[in-house]
Chains A and B, each alone.
Chain A
Amino acid sequence: MAMLTAKDFATATPSWWCPGCGDYGVLSALKSALAELGKQPHEVAFVSGIGCSGKISGYLHSYAFHGVHGRALPVATAVKLANRDLTVIAAGGDGDGYAIGAGHFVHAVRRNPDITYIVMDNQTYGLTKGQSSPTSANGYVASVSPNGNPDNPINGLALALAAGASFVARGFSAQPKQLVALIKAAIEHRGFSIVEVMSPCVTYNKVNTYAWFKEHVADASAQDGYAPEDRVAAFAALVREGPIPLGILFQEQKPTFEERAGLPAQPVAHVDLHAGRAALASLQAAYR
């Protein structure tokens, strides 16, 4: 099949996002990454969560699944197990992944299925009109925290590292070139890859704006001798006070869930459903 362009991964559905939303940058980078990797839309299964970011599955020409809040990762894991030939990508917001879906997040990471997870982090709940999110700063003023958010923010990528993630990266939706490269590397990585994208909410988050991010982000590779194969160094970079590190922060190769679970080479979805009379009869014989 012919090589496609980013446009070939667009749907005809008009976007619901506000003008200027960071999520446009994520969608655009994802489409470019898929085109540059030579993927075809029917080979891509795209699972999204609920919230503004979860709408993204409606805008990517692919097999798209827009399910229940917080459960994108179990769905995506199972899609991959059902058909290992598919390119499986999950996407959702900081609320979807780190609040209601936090339980699944760490378990998807530790299983290490060969899927890519894009977390679109805007540090607020947009679709419910501006509440604190699990990544909102302590003291962040929002509709249900009028005196300032009493909670401390979660560090999703450090959590992923602690759970044994094999690919951890962070991008910024206003730096498209880098983001495309990160998403491509994530998709090509064999195992669970997470790309957290700083994706500003222009309507409700008046603190973590584009301008704020531009001042606060820095490429991890700018740091002398940064080596993304060192889990401890990556952890230090993520928890240290200072600029928000961007780029591939950690990567290692280890067996995927599909390999460890002994999946057949052929997609499970295409396995013959007839177990065969002899095999079934021998199972029954054990009960005589």
Chain B
Amino acid sequence: MILNSLEVMFGGQAGDGSLTTGDLIAGVFKRMGLEVYTYKDFPSRIRGGHTNYVIRAGERANLGMADAVDALVAFDLEAVQAHIDEMRPGGFVVFDSTDEAIPDELRRGDVTWYEIPLAKIAKEDLGLALVRNTISLGVLGALVGMDPGIVRADVRAVYRRKGDKVVDVNLRAVDAGELYVREHFAGRPSGYGLVASDDGDRLIMMGNDAIAYGALAAGCRFMAGYPITPATDILEWMSKEMPRFGGVVVQAEDELAAITMTLGAAFTGVRAMTATSGPGQALMTEAIGLAGVLEIPVVVVECARAGPSTGMPTKTEQSNLNHLIYGGHGEIPRVVIAPGTVAESFELAVAAFNLAERWQLPVFLLTEQALCQSKATLPPFDLDAVRIDRGSLIDDGEVTFGEYKRFAFTGDGVSPRVIPGVPGGMHLAAGSEHNDAGVITENARNRSRMMEKRMHKLDAMRDELPKAVLHGVADADLAVVGYGANTGPIREAVERLANGGILTRFLQLRTLWPFPDEVIRDFVRGAQHVFVVENNYTGQLERLIRSVVGPLDALHGVRKYDGRPFRPIEIIEPIRRIAAVGEPAEII
């Protein structure tokens, strides 16, 4: 029996309630003391279309997807057709057999089949077709050993606001699912088991919520945004929570307005942010340049999805890196930082605001659909570690007009920043090139000095940027570089390779721009092979690395661009094959 390691996939049609049940399952796993990671693979529509919700539970934190699905709960044949090949040998399928039957060609012999007329039981025994999902929760719980008390407590909590009747019918649905398994499958164990332990003091949270919460804790009091998948959660969270802290949220008419509003609020002295995804990011490009030249601190959260154009709005990708680093006409200092976990999403959101204000420039907080819309278990955030550093800001008192120069040349490129309302600080903030006092000028010498002043910030700030994290064995011959949502799968791959005797070192980059040249050079030194793991076709990170390490034959791209996150085996196998070490890995 496999204990405490389970990946459940809930598959059906969008809008049939599987997201609610998926969240319920994730919550139950968490309360049973397990570590959880969820992944929503849903279509870009509201009703209909195949959707699935993956919930992985295990004993190890900071998970991503497993190699394969252990338990497929399929509400229709389409879900079986779409995912039967992703199943781990020895896994099992719960299938709603009310209206459809499994054809022989799909009936894999190495998985166990539990065919149950879920919809029929819901309708005929419980009188409510909607509770089919909850019956399947009871079935799953009985098959893998979910704690019946916790299941019931969570069902009550989730449906409480819908009234006693709804709670009651859902509880009876759980009973019905459990009973069906006892009566029909007593002799066919699933092969999986869960052992409850103490939940402890932990959270279960989605990346986007951690970013929004981090921004609020960091003192963000203005957000303008335009709804876009997968970034909308942040706008929604802020709309709900920020006003009672004295902040304001605007649903802008488009991303051009969202970013220029963010600039306007930041210019006026409010910690301000926007959040978007690829298409919106493209529209914001011109104004980001303005933020750079006006030295306005703004935080832009980029929740990356599969592009180009509309691409696949609900799927993950890392194809925006070039755009964030190079996008725009002219040259500005900018920062790109990327969290690798939900916990880091909070920490780096706080860091983003401090960096933006300390260095008076735009900061991109880069995340991806596979992290920002995924939930994970984690320890509570350390609120005492949150520091608000506003840098060189003059927001009260007064300054002497004529002496005060908004864009004064300084050693580190940062000039004291006055905000509107402060007597004496009147000046022009112009996107046109300007002198230290803000007066527009095309003087050649001034232009060179201003470029140098602004761009110098990137060098001066290096020590304050989020540091890369080294995982694995520091002096291993095999080296891996990656960032963002791939952190979980890469860490798991590194650990499993080590279990098989293959040692690797993994550098998780958290600052992608200014590019950590020295850190990369130090890291690859002495490596026999360097693997760059990323979710794009052209190898955007690999090219950045090549630009600083010089000719290196043993630099290999491990890339995926089908819109889905890496499963660990997809990292393990290329490394093993190219480095010609070890035996094919076991599917986990």
Give the interface of A toward B (CB within 8 A): 11, 13, 40-43, 45, 47, 57-58, 61-68, 70-71, 74-79, 81-83, 85-86, 103-104, 107, 261-264, 266-275, 277, 279-281, 283-284, 287-288
- What's the least CB distance linking B31 to chain A, in Å? 9
Given contacts A66-B431, A284-B213, contact A79 B267 (CB under 8 A): yes
Chain A residues whose CB sits within 8 angstroms of the CB of B425 once the complex forms: 42, 63
B202 cross-chain contacts in A, Cβ below 8 A:
288
6 examples of A-B residue contacts, CB within 8 angstroms: A63-B426, A75-B261, A81-B248, A103-B254, A275-B217, A283-B216
Which residues of chain B are within 8 angstroms of A277 by Cβ–Cβ distance?
383
Chain A residues lying within 8 Å of B287, measured Cβ to Cβ, are 67-68, 71
Question: Shortest beta-carbon distance, B421 to chain A, in Å?
Answer: 6
Report the separation of the CA atoms of residues A67 and B422 in the bound assembly, to the nearest whole angstrom: 21
Separation in Å of the B25 CB from the closest CB of chain A?
17
Specify the chain A residue showing the minimal Cβ separation from B204: A287
Residue-wise interface mask of B (193-205) relative to A, using a CB-CB cutoff of 8 A (1 in contact, 0 not): 0000000011111
**B428–A66 contact, CB under 8 A?**
yes
Stretch touching chain A among B95-103, B110-118, B239-247: B239-247
Known contacts A81-B250, A284-B213; is-contact A86 B260 (Cβ 8 Å): no
Instruction: Determine if B252 is an interface residue (Cβ-Cβ < 8 Å).
Output: yes
Query: Quick check: B268 and A86 within 8 Å, CB to CB?
Result: yes
Q: A67-B260, A82-B264 are in contact. Are A268 and B246 (CB under 8 A)?
A: yes
CB distance A78 to B222 under 8 Å?
Answer: yes
Which residues of chain A come closer than 8 Å to B519, judged between CB atoms? none
Closest B residue by C-beta to A83: B268
Smallest CB gap from A62: residue in B: B426
Q: Which residues of B contact A78 (CB under 8 A)?
A: 222, 224, 250, 260-265, 268, 272
Task: Please give the distance in Å from B151's CB to the nearest CB on chain A.
Answer: 17
User: Interface residues, chain B, CB within 8 Å of chain A?
Assistant: 201-205, 209, 213, 216-219, 221-222, 224, 241, 243, 245-248, 250, 252-254, 256-258, 260-265, 267-272, 286-287, 290, 294, 380-381, 383, 388, 390, 395, 419-432, 439-440
User: Which of B247, B263, B427 lies in contact with A268, CB distance below 8 A?
Assistant: B247
Minimum C-beta distance from B524 to chain A (A): 39
Lowest 4 CB-CB distances: which A-B pairs, in order?
Answer: A273-B219, A78-B264, A82-B268, A271-B246
- Across the interface, do A41 and B426 meet the contact criterion of CB distance under 8 Å? yes
The residue on A at minimum CB distance from B390 is: A273
Dominant secondary structure at the A interface: mixed
Q: State the Cβ distance, A281 to closest chain B Cβ, in Å.
A: 7
| Interface pair B268/A275, CB less than 8 Å apart | no
State how many angstroms separate the Cβ of B275 from the closest Cβ of chain A.
16
Q: Are B264 and A104 in contact (CB under 8 A)?
A: no
Per the bound structure, the CA–CA distance linking A277 and B224 in Å amounts to 25
Kindly list chain B residues whose C-beta atoms are within 8 Å of the C-beta of A75.
260-261, 263-264, 267
- Looking across the interface, which residue of chain B has its beta carbon closest to that of A261? B248
Q: Contacts of A67 on B, CB cut-off 8 Å?
A: 260, 263, 287, 290, 294, 431
Closest residue of A by beta carbon distance from B30: A288
Could you say which residues of chain A place their CB within 8 Å of the CB of B254? 103
Q: Tell me whether A65 and B419 are in contact (CB under 8 A).
A: no
Q: Are B257 and A58 in contact (CB under 8 A)?
A: no
Closest chain A CB from B357 CB (angstroms): 10
Docked CA distance A41–B250 (Å): 28
- Given contacts A13-B439, A79-B420, A269-B269, A66 and B250 within 8 Å (CB-CB): no
In the complex with contacts A41-B426, A65-B264, A81-B248, A269-B213 CB distance below 8 A:
no
Q: Which residues of B contact A264 (CB under 8 A)?
A: 246
Minimum distance in angstroms from B265 CB to a CB of chain A: 4
